[in-house]
Structure 1
Amino acid sequence: MMMDGIDVEQQKRLPNYLLDAAGISIDRMPMLNVIFDRMAASCTDSLQPMAGTPCYFSVNGISNGRVGDIVKDYEGNAVAAVLYAEQWDTRVLIVLDRDFVFTMVEALFGSDGAEPPIDVERSFSNIELRVVQALFERFAKSLQSAFAATSDVTFRLERVETAMASLAIGRSSNMSICANIMLQALFRGGQMFLIIPHSALNPLRQKLAHVVVSDGRASDPNWRGQMESEVQRTEVSLSAVLDECVLSLGEVAQFKVGQVIELNATPRTLARLENNNQVLFWCQIGQLDGYYAMQVADPVDQKREFVDDILSR
């Protein structure tokens, strides 16, 4: 059926075509502000146990721009992550400027801010890039959590780049949303830029046009009590790891019955109590009623574990 040269199906799709051509208006997408605020809050909470000093993240503004124009001024002065969103079949960027990187590295390794900030034009060191990669993985999870109420999407870290010209997530002239998130720590700070192409957000226009907030009504105390009871009865598997050794595949293939494998551990060595590869406590090994037993000695220093994980990469 034709109406003035346009069939009915084309007329139904015409509003969407016009919206796509016009791009995304931030004022008409108030949920974007909520999402980026949630990401900033999640970043703050995620890094609080790792840093020896408070680190605060806050949204400094959201703008529209072309990908090439946004990143061109940071060549040689920033490091970026390319995240792949499988459900959107697109890629997004997280860019950290030099001040952000140096501030976070100092905060994570125990600086108190007494030393002046680094003011030397140099390439990022391997340690700094390892720290940045670990941060990008956490920021990707924070972004995923922030979008959870709007879109069931996961963000996977594809690569880390220091050359802005290598950030190919489409044509450099493609329009994108750019959220500027500020870091404040050690009496200084830095900037994070989150860049999401319009093509990824266009299908979410209707959801982004309405602010979704949590239900503020008081919860049912009976339901809450039952939920807590069920959660506390959940069974978890604990593993006690006394020591680990690294062997080649050839050495493992030559194992024989009765062979002794030496460990760098003594009866006084603390064992790691783990659940789902997450270290929970350091424990002393002993005996009780003829069985081996574990006595909790110390809680795990999450900050130390985070740093050790970075250095072991």
Structure 2
Amino acid sequence: MQMTQDGTDTDLMRSRIIERLVGATGDPDRVSAAARSTGIRAIASVQEMLKDRFGTTVDIDLASVEIVRLAEAKPDIASLDVLAVLSAPRMPDALILQLDPMALSLLVAVFFGGDPELPSAPLNRPASGFELDIASVAFEMFALAINGHGPRALGLRIGGLQPLAGPVALKRFTVRDGPGVRIDFSIGTGEAAGRLSAWMPQRVLLEGRGGPEAATAPSEPEEWRQRFGEQVLRSGVRLVATVPLMKMPLGAIAGLQPGQVIEMGEDVRGRARLSVRDRILFECELGKLGQHYTVRVKQAFDARQHVVDGLVADHGRDK
């Protein structure tokens, strides 16, 4: 490894060696506080994603936050838990997600439209392929929520999750030991509550949430603006394509009858407009593909030019 001018690479390597030998990376109170904040933020985001996708609310709570050794994340080969490992820059196992049979059973019921308040029986066998697909969706939601966004994002590589389950996969599963933190989420209520655990190296958590990057993190109002903007961008709105047909006297319009056919103007192909909530966004071109009509976006709608064109047209009629 080449040493940079300020010795950054050498210092980083030295800190990782000391981390493996000694254990602790940072102040336990600071690590716990960062993990708890990450967990609380993740709950709201996961609940929102579940509601957007399935139209239901699942009880998710922060059960506990503990300072651990990452070697503890390896389950017994007889375990029925499902795991997923996510990497980040310079860290192949930056996040390990672990879902117990009770939580997986509840999520499967929710994904099929079941009542999340009704008790579900925990799985008493290794997860099937379909159940692993459900676990993958849940893992992706929690990973997105834990990763965050903006300058303080952890940089997790979330695409292509491959859940691990069963004796063979769990026997092959290995994890590098080191100081870590475990965030336990409870899924469901009462005796029917399951558990999803998130295991993270302390260094990944602190570099993303409490390291030098934190000095450049946005202020609280800016962070809320970013989150609000993200929620707005995910909201669904009705897109309307309007096509002007032709000019017709008011008297003729008043005489229209049900079943009457109105011809489309010759220049209608170049005059379609896309609008959302009565606000015109784009000038479009109407076309046809097979038996279906299409709308091709040509350019953004210029409200000023629209007014000018209207004034010019009115002036011509006055003359």
Q: CA RMSD in A?
A: 4.4
**Offset at 1:70?**
3.8
Cross-structure match for 1:83: 86
Cross-structure match for 1:36: 39
Query: Which residue, out of 165, 169, 173, partners 2:175?
Result: 169
Change (3 A) 1:210 1:78: farther
Cross-structure match for 1:300: none
Query: Which residue, out of 206, 210, 215, partners 2:211?
Result: 206
Q: Map of 1:1-313 to 2, 5 A cutoff?
A: 20=19, 21=22, 22-29=24-31, 30-51=33-54, 53-72=56-75, 75-86=78-89, 88-112=91-115, 116-119=119-122, 121-144=124-147, 146=148, 148-151=150-153, 153-156=155-158, 157-163=160-166, 164-170=170-176, 173-184=177-188, 188-201=192-205, 203-204=207-208, 205-207=210-212, 214-216=219-221, 293=293
Partner Cα separation in structure 1 for residue 72 and residue 38 of structure 2: 24
How many residues are matched? 219
**Offset at 1:124?**
1.3
* SS of structure 1 residue aligned to 2:26: coil
Q: Which has the higher contact order (CA 8 A, sep 6+)?
A: 1
Q: Which deviates more from structure 2 when the two are superposed, residues 150-159 or residues 91-100?
A: 150-159
**Offset at 1:23?**
2.7
Q: Which deviates more from structure 2 when the two are superposed, residues 71-80 or residues 53-62?
A: 71-80
* SS of structure 2 residue aligned to 1:129: helix
- Paired AA for residue 96 in structure 1: L
Cross-structure match for 1:301: none
Higher strand fraction: Structure 1 or Structure 2? Answer: 1
Partner Cα separation in structure 2 for residue 174 and residue 18 of structure 1: 10
**Offset at 1:128?**
1.0
Any idea what the Cα deviations from partners look like across 1:115-155, whole Å, max 9, x if unmatched? 652255212122211111122222222222x2644245132
Same amino acid, percent of matched pairs: 17
- Radius of gyration: which is bigger? 2
Change (3 A) 1:187 1:202: closer
On the 8 A contact 2:151/2:213 being kept in 1, the answer is no
* SS of structure 1 residue aligned to 2:197: strand
On the 8 A contact 2:86/2:95 being kept in 1, the answer is yes
Partner Cα separation in structure 2 for residue 216 and residue 202 of structure 1: 22
On the 8 A contact 1:93/1:196 being kept in 2, the answer is yes
Which blocks of at least 5 consecutive residues in structure 2 are unaligned? Answer: 1-6, 234-238, 241-286, 295-319
Q: Which deviates more from structure 2 when the two are superposed, residues 184-193 or residues 38-47?
A: 184-193
Cross-structure match for 2:313: none
TM-score after normalising by structure 2 = 0.54
On the 8 A contact 1:83/1:159 being kept in 2, the answer is no
On the 8 A contact 2:67/2:181 being kept in 1, the answer is yes
On the 8 A contact 2:59/2:187 being kept in 1, the answer is yes
On the 8 A contact 1:77/1:97 being kept in 2, the answer is yes
Change (3 A) 1:120 1:101: closer
Partner Cα separation in structure 1 for residue 25 and residue 139 of structure 2: 28
Partner Cα separation in structure 1 for residue 74 and residue 16 of structure 2: 28
Partner Cα separation in structure 1 for residue 50 and residue 212 of structure 2: 30
Partner Cα separation in structure 1 for residue 140 and residue 116 of structure 2: 25
Change (3 A) 1:31 1:139: same
Partner Cα separation in structure 2 for residue 50 and residue 17 of structure 1: 41
Change (3 A) 1:81 1:17: closer
Change (3 A) 1:66 1:215: closer
On the 8 A contact 1:92/1:196 being kept in 2, the answer is yes
